[in-house]
């Protein structure tokens, strides 16, 4: 079932108030539960090593804004670089050990206060913490005697080099250290845990979705003919940052035929009267993402052809959302969307013949080359297997995914009448699986054509 909020948005403030991040924050106890659950899955003869994301340079000595590695954040909630989490099941002196930066007044004068080892224990629930500069001396002894190492080998070359050096050091110990015999991909265990969202995670994702809705509504108000795509992008970013969030990914602001480019990024084109504008943008709050797409007419009214294709996409999305419920396969939403999209294309004459043939031959993919959704969480395209045992994974409560069918008629497609060319439409919402159906986290963002036209009329001062 759909737990939608009211469609009318006129009561919303132009500048949304920032959410109370302290009230939304995931507690140290929850991070500790995650670590214990992962260690239980790995077994007492294992060691699990997770590195923080490195700082990445944009150019010269200017760094990109720092964003923590999602797996590291899921297990530690620790926001700094230069850190390694070691999980040592059954260790008498503490199973969760963090290596991190020490407090350093000289460095802090330039870069701000560090958390330090004491606060890593007191504030982040670690059993023990050591300076990252001492990891080469301490960690090999912790690894000794363990049978398996779970890690993300191959993700970060610098961490891989450290890991291999620790193994070499173990072998060189007096009498020969007992070196783990197996390296196991950490994602095999960890990513299945991340697929199921806790109450606290869902609360954060609802807040992230609410910010994204506010940003889309603000963008809709300023997106008028004659403005530039990047001006709309600027409004989106303003609202997200004023709400304490950052973009979950580089937004897509695509006017007219630019919407037919699936991952359009230029944002330099002028918005033209009579065109549609496709906005695909999401907010990230405390590392948790939202992802919304809407497509609306810049002049306030869908043309006949735009409205016809829009109604097909909307019907496909509603059919797909109805498939998001416990026990249904993940791929069921895509199958349902493809059926509705293809039938609509055949009825409108953009595809010849019947829908069964078009689906069997894949000819619909000329207008819908994508999938209908993806997992959502700490990453926009979140972790988790889509297939299990060769079959589409069955949905379970607390999984979250996007539902985003679309139709894209290339501007140079001469197999269709000119009036259809250059129309690109995508409608996307974030949907959580509940015990008895689903919850559309982004339902506050209108998507019915009449509701969108009413919002645009209000923007322009019309009744």
Percent of the chain's residues with pLDDT above 90: 89
Which residue in 144, 129, 131, 145 sits closest to 95, CA to CA? Answer: 129
What confidence category does residue 174 fall into, taking pLDDT thresholds of 50, 70 and 90? Answer: low
Which residue in 423, 292, 282, 274 sits closest to 348, CA to CA? Answer: 423
Q: What is the rounded CA–CA span in Å between residue 101 and residue 116?
A: 6
Q: Which class for 436: exposed (0-12), middle (13-18), buried (19 or more C-beta within 10 A)?
A: exposed
Residue 262 pLDDT exceeds 60: yes
Question: pLDDT tens digits, residue range 365-402?
Answer: 999 999 999 999 999 999 999 999 999 999 999 999 99
130-139, 173-182, 298-307, 438-447: segment of lowest average pLDDT: 173-182
Q: Which residues of 29-48 are buried (b: 16+ CB within 10 A; e: fewer)?
A: ebbbebbeebbebbeeebbb
Q: What is the mean pLDDT of the chain?
A: 93
Average pLDDT estimate for 259-278: 98
> Longest C-alpha distance within the chain, in Å?
85
pLDDT for residue 2:
36
Residue with the two structure tokens 């060691």: 47
pLDDT for residue 3:
38
Residue 313 pLDDT exceeds 90: yes
Q: What is the rounded CA–CA span in Å between residue 304 and residue 313?
A: 15
pLDDT for residue 42:
97
Q: Which residues 6+ apart lie within 8 Å of 135 measured at CB?
A: 84, 99, 162
Would you tell me how many other CB atoms lie within 10 Å of the CB of residue 175? 5
pLDDT for residue 90:
95
Which residue in 5, 375, 328 sits closest to 196, CA to CA? Answer: 375
Average pLDDT estimate for 331-356: 98
Average pLDDT estimate for 62-76: 97
């Amino acid at each position: 079932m759909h737990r939608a909020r009211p469609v009318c948005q006129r009561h919303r403030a132009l500048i949304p108030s920032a959410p109370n991040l302290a009230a939304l924050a995931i507690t140290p106890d929850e991070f500790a539960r995650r670590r214990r659950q992962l260690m239980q899955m790995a077994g007492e003869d294992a060691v699990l090593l997770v590195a923080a994301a490195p700082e990445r340079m944009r150019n010269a000595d200017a760094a990109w804004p720092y964003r923590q590695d999602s797996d590291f954040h899921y297990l530690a909630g620790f926001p700094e670089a230069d850190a390694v989490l070691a999980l040592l099941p059954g260790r008498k002196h503490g199973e969760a050990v963090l290596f991190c930066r020490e407090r350093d007044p000289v460095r802090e004068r330039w870069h701000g206060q560090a958390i330090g080892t004491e606060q890593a224990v007191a504030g982040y629930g670690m059993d023990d913490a050591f300076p990252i500069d001492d990891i080469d001396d301490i960690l090999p002894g912790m690894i000794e005697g363990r049978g398996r190492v779970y890690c993300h080998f191959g993700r970060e070359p610098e961490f891989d080099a450290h890991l291999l050096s620790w193994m070499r050091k173990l072998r060189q110990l007096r009498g020969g250290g007992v070196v783990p015999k197996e390296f196991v991909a950490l994602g095999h265990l960890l990513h299945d845990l991340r697929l199921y969202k806790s109450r606290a995670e869902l609360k954060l994702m609802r807040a992230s979705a609410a910010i994204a809705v506010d940003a889309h509504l603000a963008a809709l108000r300023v997106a008028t003919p004659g403005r530039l795509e990047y001006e709309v992008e600027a409004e989106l970013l303003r609202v997200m940052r004023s709400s304490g969030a950052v973009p979950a990914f580089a937004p897509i602001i695509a006017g007219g035929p630019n919407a037919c480019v699936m991952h359009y990024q230029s944002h330099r084109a002028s918005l033209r009267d009579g065109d549609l504008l496709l906005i695909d943008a999401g907010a990230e709050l405390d590392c948790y993402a939202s992802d919304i797409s809407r497509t609306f007419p810049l002049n306030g009214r869908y043309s006949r052809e735009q409205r016809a294709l829009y109604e097909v996409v909307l019907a496909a999305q509603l059919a797909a959302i109805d498939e998001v419920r416990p026990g249904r396969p993940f791929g069921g939403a895509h199958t349902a969307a493809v059926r509705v999209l293809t039938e609509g294309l055949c009825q409108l004459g953009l595809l010849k013949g019947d829908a069964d043939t078009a689906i069997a031959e894949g000819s619909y993919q000329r207008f819908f080359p994508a999938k209908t959704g993806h997992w959502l969480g700490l990453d926009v395209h979140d972790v988790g297997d889509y297939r299990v045992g060769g079959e589409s994974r069955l949905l379970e409560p607390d999984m979250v995914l996007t539902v985003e069918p679309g139709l894209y008629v290339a501007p140079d497609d001469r197999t269709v009448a000119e009036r259809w060319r250059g129309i690109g439409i995508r409608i996307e919402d974030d949907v959580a699986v509940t015990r008895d159906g689903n919850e559309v986290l982004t339902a506050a963002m209108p998507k019915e054509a009449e509701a969108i036209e009413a919002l645009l009329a209000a923007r322009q001062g019309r009744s």
